[in-house]
Amino acid sequence: MKRFDLELQIFLIVAIALFAAAPALAQMPQVGDRITSFEMAWVQRDVGEVAKRAQAVAEVMLGRKLTYEGIEKSVRESAPTDWRTSVPDALELLIRYIPERDELRLIHTELLSVIDARQKIDERGAIELVKKAIEELDRRGVVKASHYDLERAQIGYHRVSAGPLEGTKAYDRVTEYRITLRRVLNGIEIANAGIRFSVHASGQLAAIRLGGVSVSSKTAQGMESPMAQGSVQTRKVSSEAIERRFYESMPENAVPEVAWSKVLYVMPEDREKAVVEPLQVFSYSTTSKVDGQAVVSRRKVVGYSLTDAEAKPIDFTAPGEVEADAKPRESAS
Amino acid sequence: MIRHSSSVGGFLISTIFSLVILPGAEPVMAQATYWIDESTDFTGNGCENADLNNVTSSLRNRLNSDGWTGTRWSNVNAWPEDYIEQTFGIGGIDHVAGDSQTLSVYAGHGNRALIQFGFRRNGRCTVTFDTQSRFGTLGGDEAAYMMYVTSCTINLDSLSRHFGQQVRQSFGYHNSPSVKDDQPRDFYEETDGLRNSRAWLEEMEDRPGWFTGDNSPITLTFGVSENHCWWVHDTARLRDRILLFDALEPHNWWCASWFDNGASGC
């Protein structure tokens, strides 16, 4: 009887585990399943539209009302690559809008220096806070909560550490939980659209980054279908066949380490608008022996077609043109 | 803790310390100079590895347009000995190269406290920091800021192998990073308003426009004391030319901040 109970318990645990994993697995297209390509673009927004979004994000971050005029001025004066612009009635905030990526970034500068706050929130608490923030951003029309799946949240950390040169490490602390949610399109994530919340250990939002490509789609019965260009195809290439191709492509004497591999929509970096189909994407580095020592390559990101086994992989990190030095170097200079 | 105290008293002490005591102890002349070596061609030159995209040309152009002066060498002209300590008697020329300017940048491949060049020279492709390098004032040279656009060079398990450098800050990665062409330039531009230590992390966590969080960028700072270390960490800004001069001596403390997205590859 006891043995039966144990078997029953094991069965139930396995069944529950499989059931829990089932939605994520079921969403990944298998050979013979339909996959859809969509038109995607980095949309151009005018200052007013960006300012309205920024106001909503800033108010969610700080939990208080801000004037539209102040935010609008900040957005108008912000530059894509610097952080000079603060918000007049929220001087603790820095704001930055990157038009070519339709991306809004806000940082709470005062929290950056607080590395020894009493830990008021743990990882689970941070996710709860993010859930509420997304609901509020949805209510304010900035994002659609249905585009994000908290079960797929990617969690990173802002850590600080210090110590004397002679001696042991004095401390090592997590000061922010960095929670990234990529936009999900019929169960498949988009590499180039999403939200990242940085939740400070004190329980406040320290930074928000949101935006990326917009998808031209319409939704019916919980599924999105292309509104403009785009098409439905059938997956023909198995994950095993793609993996085989990937590993066969590795140079001799280079040992690959795959950081992650998943089916993703990836917008070509040099295009403002494109029809994008999901790919099996590998993010990896290789280790080689050089001067008798192990050397690690910079990260490579490569995508393989799910519909054409012969299609050349897309190397998102391909070297561009080499710029030669203007003059030869002749001696120690 | 001074700079990082959340109490009012701590803040006041921090402010006085920052505005009066520390600046008074620092040299005053700003030196906007740079040295950049970059390897992108790793094929058939005796240092086999994957070829890379060029990530420092646009940085060089932006530095020049901001009035900085310096030198950028690439591929066959980027030499391992540029980062080897001259006084060690092992062929190093860092005193006229990688350790001769305020900001020193190397882009290529790497590993823990190690960088790899694309062209073999004098029997070498690599430079190992703890045994071959002494950047900054410890070796009597000039570098104050080091940037390594390489894999794993500032992996957390190798921090102590950087303790032979006497520079203000080093920027690098705890893992193997994916880096787009203009990101070092964009990092520099972001230091107009944002401290170096945070700008490096913000810019380098992803490729531009990606939300995959591939990289674990890290800023490693040195100081004569714990308070001084965090003050430098929170104060230095390259483009604003704040703390753009040699580090105070001697270094006794290190402090670091990083976005931890794993140590993949290292």
Question: Tens digit of pLDDT for each residue in B207-216?
Answer: 999 999 999 9
At B9 the pLDDT is 37
At A116 the pLDDT is 82
- One domain for residues A161 and A296: no
Q: Give chain B as a DSSP string.
A: --TT--SHHHHHHHHHIIIIIHHHHS------EEEEEE----SSSBS--------SHHHHHHHHHTT-EEEEEEGGG--GGGGS-GGGTSS--GGGTTTSSSEEEEESEEETTEEEEEEEETTEEEEEHHHH---BGGGT----EEEEESSSTT-GGGGGGGTT-B-SEEEEESS-----TTHHHHHHHHTTTS-HHHHHHHHHSSSTT--S----EEEEEEESSHHHHHHHHHH-BTTTTBT-SPPPS---EEEEEEEES--TT-
Q: Which of B163, B178, B251 sits opposite A301 (nearest CB)?
A: B178
Peptide bond into B250 cis (omega under 30): yes
Residue B30 in this model has a pLDDT that exceeds 80? no
Residue B4 in this model has a pLDDT that exceeds 50? no
Query: In chain A, what residues touch B71 (CB-CB under 8 Å)?
Result: 333
At A332 the pLDDT is 59
* Degrees, nearest 5: CA angle A197-A198-A202: 130
Beta carbons of B190 and A193 less than 8 Å apart? no
Eight-class DSSP state of A222: T
Calculate the average pLDDT of chain A: 89
Alpha helices in chain A (DSSP H): 2-27, 47-62, 68-77, 109-112, 123-139, 239-248
* Segments forming the whole domain that contains residue A296: 232-315
Contact status of A32 with chain B (Cβ, < 8 Å)? no
Q: Which range is least confidently modeled, A60-69, A163-172, B172-181?
A: A163-172
Residue of B nearest to A207 (CA): B202
Residue B6 in this model has a pLDDT that exceeds 60? no
Best of B3, B13, B36, B49 to mutate (most A CBs within 10 Å, chain A): B49
Residue B253 in this model has a pLDDT that exceeds 50? yes
Residue A189 in this model has a pLDDT that exceeds 70? yes
Residue A239 in this model has a pLDDT that exceeds 60? yes
Please give the radius of gyration of chain A, using alpha carbons only, rounded to the nearest integer: 24
When pLDDT is averaged across residues B169-189 and rounded to a whole number, the result is: 97
**Is the Cβ–Cβ distance between B210 and A182 less than 8 Å?**
no
B141 pLDDT band, cuts 50/70/90, is: confident
Residues for chain B: how many in total? Answer: 266
At B12 the pLDDT is 37
Query: In chain B, what residues touch A158 (CB-CB under 8 Å)?
Result: 201, 257-260
Beta carbons of A193 and B1 less than 8 Å apart? no
In a domain, A258, yes or no: yes
A15 pLDDT band, cuts 50/70/90, is: very low
- B208-245 burial, b for 16+ CB within 10 Å, e for fewer? bbbbbbbbbbbbbbbbbebbbbbbbbbbbbbbbbebbb
At A132 the pLDDT is 97
- One domain for residues A253 and A200: no
Query: In chain B, what residues touch A101 (CB-CB under 8 Å)?
Result: 208-209
In a domain, A206, yes or no: yes
A170 pLDDT band, cuts 50/70/90, is: confident
**Tens of pLDDT, residues A54-67:** 999 999 999 999 99
Q: Which range is least confidently modeled, A129-138, B18-27, B83-92?
A: B18-27
When pLDDT is averaged across residues B5-19 and rounded to a whole number, the result is: 38
- B99-123 burial, b for 16+ CB within 10 Å, e for fewer? bbbbbbbbbbbbbbbbbbbbbbbee
List the one residue out of A185, A65, A194, A95 whose CA is nearest residue A142: A194
At A103 the pLDDT is 95
At B13 the pLDDT is 39
Beta carbons of B254 and A293 less than 8 Å apart? no
In a domain, A220, yes or no: no
Amino acid at A178: R
At B20 the pLDDT is 40
Q: Which residue has 């929670």 as its token pair?
A: A179
Q: Which range is least confidently modeled, A22-36, A74-88, B83-97?
A: A22-36
Contact status of B220 with chain A (Cβ, < 8 Å)? no
- One domain for residues A59 and A202: yes
Q: Is the torsion defined by CA of A189, A193, A195, A196 positive or negative?
A: positive
Residue B32 in this model has a pLDDT that exceeds 50? yes
At A27 the pLDDT is 60
Beta carbons of A291 and B125 less than 8 Å apart? yes
Secondary element (H or E) of residue A264? strand A255-265
Exposed, middle or buried, A294 (CB in 10 Å: 0-12/13-18/19+)?
A: middle
A118 pLDDT band, cuts 50/70/90, is: confident
Beta carbons of A291 and B93 less than 8 Å apart? no
Q: Which range is least confidently modeled, A95-99, A290-294, B45-49, B194-198?
A: A95-99
Residue A297 in this model has a pLDDT that exceeds 70? yes
Residue of A nearest to B164 (CA): A165
Q: Which residue has 């860092």 as its token pair?
A: B94
- Structural domain ending residue among the three candidates A149, A182, A212: A212
Residue B43 in this model has a pLDDT that exceeds 80? yes
Beta carbons of A194 and B211 less than 8 Å apart? yes
Collapsed DSSP state (helix, strand, coil) of residue A229 = coil
Half-sphere exposure (Cβ direction) of A30: Cα atoms closer than 13 Å: 3
Q: Look at chain A and report how many structural domains it folds into.
A: 2
At A26 the pLDDT is 42
When pLDDT is averaged across residues B222-226 and rounded to a whole number, the result is: 96
In a domain, A4, yes or no: no
**Is the Cβ–Cβ distance between A162 and B254 less than 8 Å?**
yes
Q: Which residue has 């793609």 as its token pair?
A: A242
Q: Which of the pair, A7 or B199, is modelled with greater confidence?
A: B199
Contact status of B184 with chain A (Cβ, < 8 Å)? no
Q: Which CATH number fits domain B31-258: 3.40.1130, 1.10.1760, 3.30.420, 3.40.50?
A: 3.40.50
**Tens of pLDDT, residues B147-166:** 999 999 999 999 999 999 99
- One domain for residues A158 and A62: yes
**Is the Cβ–Cβ distance between A176 and A125 less than 8 Å?**
no
Percent with pLDDT over 70 in chain A: 91
In a domain, A28, yes or no: no
At B231 the pLDDT is 96
Alpha helices in A234-317 (DSSP H): 239-248
- One domain for residues A273 and A170: no
| Maximum separation of any 2 CA atoms in chain A, in Å | 85
Q: Give A18-32 as a DSSP string.
A: HHHHHHHHHHSPPTT
Contact status of A157 with chain B (Cβ, < 8 Å)? yes
Beta carbons of B212 and A42 less than 8 Å apart? no
**Is the Cβ–Cβ distance between B245 and B144 less than 8 Å?**
yes
Contact status of B209 with chain A (Cβ, < 8 Å)? yes
- pTM, to two decimals: 0.90
In a domain, A132, yes or no: yes
Secondary element (H or E) of residue A40? strand A34-41
At A64 the pLDDT is 95
